[in-house]
């Protein structure tokens, strides 16, 4: 009996694994990873309907500038399966993949609500649909189209994607938008995304001249709002007349807002010193500093070759080995310089010991990973 029971459990597990694998394969076909997109805009339409446009680069927004023609093809193919669609009272999500222009793929998802809602008007019941329909049109930009741009290298042809998502009270509403207004909205984004943006009451941003066009950040940049990460780096610095390499590990909390990344971290740094005792070979000592760091960096590239960023590093010598560092030493770093590469920094610092009686300047080169 036990053998039969374990056999049944094994079969169920295998079936679930196969189902999960098949589901993951389906997601790979129809779901473009969010990290593929660097810009995202939302266009508010009438009656609470909206259109969300996401692209890998503003260079490829031209590909969907005539969204009416894309919708025309979609609608003609949707009519071929219209008899198979669920009832209009059930919220639908339709995914339309255009990775291969000659072989398009379509998926229909239905969400059956656990509850039904009705409104009685003059004694006659009417069914209330509580959730919007979703239409997702997305795909990879064809290499043939990318060749028109001189700024896109051939090795990157497979890395450009687009996604247009419509949130509609009813899927049939999409037929009413093929009147040129969607093309006009995309044209407005192309011509005005660098213009002035302002905050709304819900902390989203909108184009000042076209408030119906919104984004989570100005110019439509896509940044993670806040997250934890583990920063690692290798450093080389001078201390008095010594050459001191070190390695650091920093659990960091980051928050992105207004094109600025702010990072608050706890730092553990192991600094290696080398000493030559009399009549003995060179010995290596490990000194451990612990402290806090606060770092501010831009989220978009700047034209300046050498850049200065606000940076605070306050660390205390918690484990001393050898004689290079004085007891009870602590370090204060203010400011960080970068020369065209945000992962490599030059950071000046001051070491204090003997209750501020001794001050030692230092210069540290940091390579972040």
Calculate mean pLDDT across residues 48-56: 95
Nearest to 213 by CA among 233, 186, 180: 186
Whether residue 196 sits in one domain with residue 77: yes
Query: Could you tell me if residue 326 is inside a domain?
Result: yes
Cα 60 to Cα 254: distance, rounded to the nearest angstrom: 30
Give per-residue pLDDT as tens, 291-350: 999 998 876 665 566 788 899 999 999 999 999 999 999 999 999 988 766 678 999 999
β-bridge mates for residue 7, sequence order: none
Structural domain for 333, as ranges: 226-368
Question: What is the tens place of the pLDDT at every residue in 127-186?
Answer: 777 789 999 999 998 888 888 877 777 777 888 999 999 999 999 999 999 999 999 999
User: What is the CATH number for 334?
Assistant: 2.40.160
**Residue 322 and residue 259 in one domain:** yes
Q: Are both 76 and 216 inside the same structural domain?
A: yes
- What is the model's pLDDT at position 168? 95
> 233 and 172, same structural domain?
no
Same domain, 173 and 108: yes
Q: Are residues 166 and 239 in the same domain?
A: no
Q: With a threshold of 0.85, does the pTM exceed it?
A: no
Same domain, 325 and 306: yes
Say if 25 falls within a structural domain: no
Instruction: Decide which of 162, 185, 220 is a domain's last residue.
Output: 220
- Same domain assignment for residues 90 and 165: yes
Angle, alpha carbons 196-65-72 (nearest 5°): 140
Q: CA-to-CA distance for 300 and 341, rounded, in angstroms?
A: 12
Together in a domain, 188 and 240: no
Same-domain pairing of 291 and 354:
yes
Q: Is residue 10 part of a domain?
A: no
**How many domains, the chain?**
2
- Spatial contact of 309 and 297, defined as CB atoms under 8 Å apart: yes
Same domain, 212 and 248: no
């Amino acid at each position: 009996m036990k053998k039969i029971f374990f056999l049944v459990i094994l079969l169920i597990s295998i079936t679930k694994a196969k189902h999960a694998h098949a589901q993951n394969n389906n997601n790979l076909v129809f779901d473009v990873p969010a990290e593929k997109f660097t810009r995202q805009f939302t266009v508010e339409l009438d009656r609470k309907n909206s259109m969300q446009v996401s692209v890998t680069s503003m260079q490829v927004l031209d590909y969907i500038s005539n969204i009416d023609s894309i919708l025309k093809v979609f609608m003609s193919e949707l009519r071929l399966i219209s008899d198979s669609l669920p009832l209009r009272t059930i919220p639908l999500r339709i995914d339309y993949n255009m990775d291969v222009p000659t072989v398009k793929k379509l998926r229909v998802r239905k969400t059956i609500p656990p509850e039904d809602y009705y409104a009685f008007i003059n004694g006659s019941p009417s069914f209330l649909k509580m959730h919007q329909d979703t239409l997702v049109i997305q795909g990879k930009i064809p290499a043939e189209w990318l060749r028109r741009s001189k700024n896109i290298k051939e090795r990157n042809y497979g890395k450009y994607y687009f996604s247009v998502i419509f949130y509609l009270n009813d899927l049939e509403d999409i037929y009413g938008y093929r009147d040129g207004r969607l093309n006009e909205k995309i044209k407005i984004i192309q011509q005005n995304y660098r213009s002035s943006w302002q905050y709304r009451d819900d902390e989203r941003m909108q184009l000042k001249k076209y408030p119906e066009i919104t984004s989570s950040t100005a110019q439509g940049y896509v940044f993670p709002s806040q997250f934890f990460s583990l920063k690692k780096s290798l450093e080389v610095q001078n201390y008095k007349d010594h050459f001191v390499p070190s390695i650091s590990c920093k659990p960091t909390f980051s928050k992105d807002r207004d094109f600025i990344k702010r990072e608050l971290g706890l730092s553990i740094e192991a600094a290696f010193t080398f000493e030559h005792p009399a009549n003995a070979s060179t010995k290596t000592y490990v000194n451990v500093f612990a402290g806090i760091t606060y770092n501010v960096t831009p989220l978009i590239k700047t034209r300046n070759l050498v850049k200065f960023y606000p940076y605070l590093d306050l660390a205390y010598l918690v484990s001393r080995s050898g004689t290079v560092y004085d007891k009870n030493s602590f370090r204060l770093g203010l400011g960080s310089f970068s020369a065209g590469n945000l992962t490599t920094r030059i950071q000046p610092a001051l070491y204090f010991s003997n209750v501020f009686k001794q001050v030692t300047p230092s210069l540290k080169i940091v390579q972040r990973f």
